[in-house]
Structure 1
Amino acid sequence: MLLASLIALGVIAYNYWQGQQLYDEIADQGFVPPTDIEGTALADITVDWDALKAINPDTVGWIYIPDTQVNYPIVHTTDNEKYLTRDFKGTEGWLAQYGAIFLAAENKGDFSDSNNILYGHNMQDGSMFACVSGFTDATQFAEHRTIYLLTPQGNYRLQTFALIHTTADDLIAQTTFTDEEQRRAYLQDKIDRSVASVDDVPAVSEMSQSLMLSTCDNLPTDGRYVLYAYVAESTVKASSDASQGGAASPDAVDAVDEASKELAS
């Protein structure tokens, strides 16, 4: 029994090591953050899109949160389940439990929607989107307010404004809205429900676009931590129809939730 437990722990440890090695290798090829990223003009931050797309044509972006392990490529397909158990290089199975950071299938692949949704696992070694759950600590939240979203169309610098701890069946995965009033109400609701206190949140009318990072809480109640950020600066020309549309498919969201629950346990 003890031997079996030790073997199982060894397999898990190797799986985590192998997964992080893969993404470190991809980062070396695709994106090395500037030493002084805060002092670097947003337009001067570059990603080797040709190298990334040669590895995976589903590549649509890169996400980086300074001083965390979040430094990953973003993929996008019409199937929200594809990258739950498939890594960036397309490997499936027990060696690919990291999955990949992916943009919701309901979103446009160019990040032009009002609310863009990224999913990532909450890995026990602190990788992927595990840091999101750690932002319940006020100091951690305050020290990691800036997110860089880099895309072939241009770059975004975002500021976090809310952290939600919610249930798996909470239908908050809305990508677009019928009108501006509905969009503002959606954002204000997240501010009101935030478990993180933020003093410098601008009026929702000043938030042109938002980004949502969703991960499991790895608790028996099967909840979700969802981090919200607004676009503070962008080199991308604004889309005229960003506020039009509807919501993410409940069936698709359920599929993501169920698969994430299995992997996080």
Structure 2
Amino acid sequence: MFKCELFSVQKNKADTAAYNNAADEISAALSVDGIELQHTTEYAADAKKLSKAILEKLNASDSDLFLFVNALSTTDNSSFRKLFYRTIEDIEATIPRDEEHRDLTPKLKVSSIGDLGNGYKGYCFSYSGKRFIALPCASLTGAEIKELIRNGVAASNDVFTKNAELYPVGVAFFDQQGREVDPQLNQIDISAATAPTAPKKQGFFRSFIPQKEDTKKQKIRKIVVLIAIVAFIGALIYVLEFYIFGPMRNDAVNSEIQTIAHNKDKDGGDSDGPEQDWDALKAINEEIVGWITIPDTKIDYPVLYHEGDDRYHQYYLKRTYKEESSEYGSIFIDYRSPEGAKSRNVIMHGHDMLDGSMFAGLLGYSPKGDLKGDLEFYQDHPVITFNTPDGDAKYKIISVFKTSTRYEHGEFFNYMQGEFNSDAEFMNFVYNMRVRSFFDIPVTCNEGDQIITLSTCCYEFYQWRLVVVARKVRPGEDKNVDVSLASRNSAPLFPDVYYSRYGGTRPETETFKSANAKGLIDWYDGKGNLQGSEDLTATLESNPTEPPTDPPKKNEPKPTDPPPTTYFPVTYHNFDGSQYAAYNVKEGDPVPTPSGTPVIPEDDYYTYVFKGWDKSVEGVDFDHLNVGIDIYPKFDAIKKE
């Protein structure tokens, strides 16, 4: 959990009052996001005084996040420069330079965190593990102060994660011509400050505690021994907790509910009844909405759904079904499946744990480091059981693939879409699942089907996921699959980062309608004539990036992050300012133009004709984008006769 110093900058009375009125809500919201608010201070918008206060707190505070709210008041970076560049220059002046860096100029890496409302941006930078975030005045953005802070912190976290490898201490070095040098030179030791002297302890063995009369060498030896002892104890506690006590507790908790769920007299009771005792499960937790099972794995768990989840807060990510804190978490339904277990696509997440629990069993379909899939494992396990209080059900697997949750890995497919605007969009979504599959699977699918999507972490690349998709067995349909007809997909579709590392040619893909019209699809058995747009709205218009469900463990392959790529938000607006379309455009790429025509309703005097999008934005190259932009429509007003 981050420890936070919050600075309420007093630019105007209205914003200051709004912050003070919402202070308790803000503190609670930050706590939910993993931030402990230690201290809040009000400061006037005075660069000199603010710089002095920040430097004092840097030396005296153990906080690792410095958050400045209501600090900025311009849509460009001028107010940020005016208020914070004195602080930045003061910090830069203290950065040590050894012989290798003697002729170089150190600069803190300051980054924009994007538009937080009405064109007003936030900015962030870091130094020696300390993070700094400056946010615009809430009244200017049109957002509530609490949501503005949460959105600003979330956007900043993405920036800090992206910059961590190239700027490990937050500093970039430049040569005498003003050119940024090799990132390797950014790895500089800045731990020059002397740590405070620890208070003298009493009652401990004199042989381990430095004494006043000890020589310098004796004191150093004792300190080294103490550090070694503490490190050993900490490592021992971690090993015992991670490899022994944690798995034992998790097994006990899950064994308890498995016993309750399956505690039915199959011989003497109703053999046609549900497999789970739903009354007993609901008595434990009303948010248990399903039960998922895959044979020959540890996957035999309750499925939870919490209606309050959003991108920043997933309740059961680190909680058991008893709502107790646990690194193992629970199997839970994603908030983008808005009807829970009744959604058209029921998206479920679970951790990949080293002891094989939770969703680690999914890796049987494609083990860690594998990018071909285990066809034999699929053939032995082609069906998943997902039961709900509405009835028991089998689901036939239709796709197994690995993909990215990051836009910077190339052309993006967001598999986390739970509802759809049309049957055409749904079938195009299924088509995109299947062209990515490691296997060609002899299971049909159509617009009348419900699917489940099981997702867990894999580490072939940074923040990749293993995804297993299955569709519900239809009434009267044989639940068995002729797996002898399954085969390997000779060219499954991967994100671009795969081809950058391993080579090969990215296969050409269609949309569902075009592929079906060409006879390229042999798994569709619907009625055809699908209505509506095929555009996958989740992929085109939302940022799907999520925190990894489980970080790589000790002795496991570390995630590999490709060279950082900058993407800029491009938002097209309707005449009333609402969003018409949105894109994340790679730096240097041309700006796309959305299809369709925005409309202004006619009034008593005029009709309005759309004349195109206003791309006369000063300083913006629409063929080689280098900045986030908002684009508005142009209309001709034609007077009625």
1:167 maps to which residue? 404
Cα distance in 2 between the residues matched to 1:264 and 1:59:
29
Among 88, 98, 116, the alignment partner of 2:346 is 116
**Which one-letter code corresponds to 1:122 in the other structure?**
D
Q: Is 2:328 the partner of 1:91?
A: no
Q: What is the match of residue 205 of structure 1?
A: 446
Higher relative contact order (CA 8 A, sep 6+): 1
- 2:248: which partner in 1? 17
Task: State the secondary structure of the residue aligned to 2:414.
Answer: coil
CA distance in 2, matches of 1:119, 1:166: 15
Which amino acid is the alignment partner of residue 295 of structure 2? P
Q: Secondary structure at the match of 1:212?
A: strand
**Structure 1 counterpart of 2:458, from 208, 217, 230:** 217
Corresponding position: 1:28 with 2:271: no
Provide the aligned C-alpha RMSD in A. 3.0
TM-score (norm 1): 0.81
Unaligned runs of 5+ in 1: 236-242
Structure 2 residue 235 is the aligned partner of structure 1 residue 5: yes
What is the correspondence of 1:19-98 to structure 2 with a 5 Å cutoff? Answer: 19-31=250-262, 44-78=273-307, 79-80=309-310, 81-92=314-325, 96-98=326-328
Whether the 8 Å CA contact 1:161–1:201 is kept in 2: the answer is: yes
218-227 or 59-68, larger mean C-alpha shift: 218-227
Counting aligned pairs with the same residue, the percent is: 27
Q: Give 3-state SS (helix, strand or coil) of 1:258's partner.
A: coil
Q: Does 1:158 align with 2:399?
A: no
The TM-score normalised by the length of structure 2 is: 0.35
On the 8 A contact 1:116/1:210 being kept in 2, the answer is: yes
Worse-matched range after superposition: 80-89 or 214-223: 214-223
Q: Is the radius of gyration larger for structure 1 or structure 2?
A: 2
Q: How many residues align?
A: 245
Q: Could you list the runs of 5+ residues in structure 2 that have no partner in the other structure?
A: 1-230, 367-373, 407-412, 477-530, 555-641
* 1:149, distance to aligned residue in structure 2 (A): 0.9
The yes-or-no answer on 1:260 pairing with 2:260 is: no
Tell me if the contact between 2:398 and 2:441 (Cα under 8 Å) persists in the aligned partners.
no
Q: Displacement of 1:23 after TM fit?
A: 0.6
Instruction: State the SS of the aligned residue for 2:446.
Output: helix
**Residue type at the aligned position of 2:547:** E
Q: Which residue of 2 aligns with 1:102?
A: 332
**Is 1:138 aligned with 2:375?**
yes
| Contact persistence 1:66–1:144 (CA under 8 A) | yes
Query: Does the residue aligned with 1:205 lie in a helix, a strand or coil?
Result: coil
Give the corresponding residue for 2:626. Answer: none
Q: Deviations over 1:65-97 (max 9, x none)?
A: 1221110001111215111111111111xxx11
Q: Distance in 1 between matches of 2:363 and 2:273?
A: 31
- CA contact under 8 A between 1:34 and 1:45: conserved in structure 2? no
Using the alignment, how far apart are the partners of 1:2 and 1:9 within structure 2?
A: 10
* AA in 1 matched with 2:375: A
Q: CA deviation at 1:52?
A: 1.2
Displaced runs of 4+ in structure 1, greater than 3 A? Answer: 1-7, 32-35, 243-251, 261-265
1:212-239 Cα shifts (integer Å, max 9, x gaps): 001111455221001000111459xxxx
Change in Cα spacing, 1:207 to 1:198, as seen in structure 2 (3 Å) is: farther
